[in-house]
A and B are shown apart, each in its own frame.
Chain A
């Protein structure tokens, strides 16, 4: 049985690079199945040699998790394949993808992305051009860290892989994003109100949206606010947009 050190920097880099394409052949019956095998191919070629094709077939099945966390599952499976635990590697893949998918959707799509967008919007209020750059930097700093460290974390946590899902780092990021969003909302609202030239109108529209969101869905709120705004436009009310260009 080989030790932890056998996952070299090159192996990890190859898995990382390939993990970027885990959704590349996403399809309804097998979802990320081909993408998951694509991550593992160089590693399986290295550790399996004469039983390489059989190992490939073993991991060309159904797979679906959050794309940023697929590296963690690949790390666990890579270690198990290396140690000859073939049946366990299939079980690990199947048992990890669900919890990681749920965690990833909540962390990356529901928290990190809105938080990064809100931070980018705050930046764009002062430097409109820097907004895009800010979004890419804020989001991808966490994204790349998760993809890169996930492979090694999975490889090292082969004995109890499920325990490596909820880490202190992920909890910290989640809690940070939860805090950033209301602060950024307040900040953007205040700047928008001041720059619009009609602060009371902006606050009234925000309040109407806030109260409506508790009772109606997003499209109804958007439609209602749009109708009011168009009516105001028809009556000749003019505001300034918050972005200075």
Chain B
């Protein structure tokens, strides 16, 4: 992303977060909002594709089993994944300290959850207005309310991401200056999300003989692929 200073890059990333958030609940659910997809895409746009891919993989694994069932709004990995890319992409944190950026960006999950809940509450008014329109025989106006609700998703998430950046980007800059290079220190830790996700899913699936056989088959083919 040539030609933008770090403030411009943050605003651009916030717009990106707002647009991508629409996919999660309001329209489509094509999984573009999963970190595995969104983080590499933002990384590519900001000129740090590798950072985007690694960030996406780590956060995807960390939140593999968070399910959006019913009215429950779980912590989602989208904001931390995008914020980590922003921290490195704007030069606040050096690429070698990416694991630190991943940790710093975690509190942005709270802002994401706030935006989601706020959007759902604001939709109560949207629904009431749409109902009034239908009662008056103006179904077309009710449909416009639907479009407005989808726009609100993007708006709330844009605002929440911008707010997260306003707090966490300076925090990342300060920590990157005062802390020594900890990339080696965090290296084993970078494997932990992967192993936690794998062990959680293995545990839930390996209660039958059939599951163990499938797991063993996967291990065998993995060994073959790894050795080749």
Binding site for B on A (CB under 8 A): 20-21, 23-31, 33-35, 37-38, 41, 45, 52-53, 56-57, 60, 64, 67-68, 101, 105, 109-110, 113-114, 116-118, 120-121, 124-126, 128-129, 131-132, 135-136, 139-140, 143, 178-179, 181-196, 201-202, 205-210, 212-214, 218, 221-222, 225-226, 229-230, 232-234, 236-239, 241-243, 245
Binds A, one of B3-11, B66-74, B156-164, B169-177: B66-74
Instruction: Count how many chain B residues have C-beta atoms less than 8 Å from C-beta atoms of the other chain.
Output: 86
Do residues B134 and A24 form an inter-chain contact, with CB atoms below 8 A? no
B19 at the interface (CB under 8 A from A): no
Do residues B126 and A25 form an inter-chain contact, with CB atoms below 8 A? yes
- Point out the residue from A45, A192, A221 that lies within 8 Å of B200, measured CB to CB: A221
Which one of A31, A45, A121 has the highest number of Cβ atoms from chain B below 10 Å of its Cβ? A121
CA distance A52 to B27 in the complex (A): 26
Give the residue name and chain of the A residue nearest to B31 (CB).
A139
**Which A residues are in CB contact (< 8 Å) with B222?**
186-191, 194
A-B contacts counted at CB < 8 A amount to 279
**Which B residues are in CB contact (< 8 Å) with A124?**
36, 53, 57
B184 at the interface (CB under 8 A from A): yes
**Which B residues are in CB contact (< 8 Å) with A21?**
26-28, 146, 150
Given contacts A45-B139, A181-B201, A208-B199, 14 further A-B contacts (CB under 8 A): A20-B27, A23-B26, A27-B121, A109-B69, A116-B31, A120-B36, A126-B225, A132-B41, A135-B37, A222-B193, A225-B192, A225-B195, A226-B189, A243-B54
- Point out the residue from B53, B65, B226, B227 that lies within 8 Å of A114, measured CB to CB: B65
**Which A residues are in CB contact (< 8 Å) with B67?**
105, 109-110
- Residue interface bits B15-51, CB-to-A below 8 A is 1, else 0: 0000000000111111110101100110000000110
Do residues A241 and B30 form an inter-chain contact, with CB atoms below 8 A? no
Give the residue name and chain of the B residue nearest to A208 (CB).
B199
CA distance A27 to B218 in the complex (A): 43
Binding site for A on B (CB under 8 A): 25-32, 34, 36-37, 40-41, 49-50, 53-54, 56-57, 60-62, 64-65, 67-71, 120-121, 123-124, 126-127, 130-131, 134-135, 137, 139, 142-143, 145-147, 149-150, 153, 184-196, 198-206, 211-212, 214-223, 225-227
**Which B residues are in CB contact (< 8 Å) with A179?**
214
Do residues B53 and A131 form an inter-chain contact, with CB atoms below 8 A? yes
Do residues A25 and B54 form an inter-chain contact, with CB atoms below 8 A? no
Which one of B31, B120, B184 has the highest number of Cβ atoms from chain A below 10 Å of its Cβ? B31
